């Protein structure tokens, strides 16, 4: 993680060139004011999905079914998919 002090010469273009695979903490007067990180176009979809109450409930229901023995063993899934 890089720390960059914002100055009048700081441009978005310069920040994006510095970003790479790291995150950048932007500071003003030594205090953190923002975080700049890489962005994946799929992120909003998955973030919304992971926070959807219906999705969360479906995962909880699936976990309960597994506990009751209603799941399919991995070995069987592999066999059915020809992955043995």
Q: Among candidates 13, 15, 12, which has minimal Cα distance to 4?
A: 15
User: Is residue 32 one of the residues assigned to a domain?
Assistant: yes
Domain membership of residue 10 as a residue range:
2-36
Name the pLDDT band for 44 (thresholds 50, 70, 90). Answer: confident
One domain, residues 29 and 44: no
Do 7 and 29 reside in the same domain of the chain? yes
Token pair of 57, please?
């409930």
pLDDT in tens, 70-82: 877 878 878 877 8
C-alpha distances out from residue 53 to 32, 49, 56, 58, Å: 33, 9, 5, 9
**Phi/psi of residue 76, nearest 5 degrees:** -70, -40
- 28, 54: one domain: no
Domains in the chain, number: 2
* Model-wide pTM > 0.85: no
Q: Is residue 6 part of a domain?
A: yes
Q: Could you tell me if 6 and 21 lie in one domain?
A: yes
Residues 31 and 7 in one domain: yes
């Amino acid at each position: 993680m890089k720390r960059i002090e914002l100055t009048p010469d700081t441009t978005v273009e310069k920040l994006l060139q510095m970003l790479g695979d790291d995150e950048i903490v932007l500071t003003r007067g030594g205090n953190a004011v923002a975080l700049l990180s890489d962005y994946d176009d799929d992120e909003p979809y998955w973030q919304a999905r992971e926070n959807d109450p219906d999705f969360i409930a479906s995962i909880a229901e699936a976990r309960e079914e597994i506990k009751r023995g209603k799941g399919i063993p991995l070995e069987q899934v592999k066999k059915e998919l020809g992955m043995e």
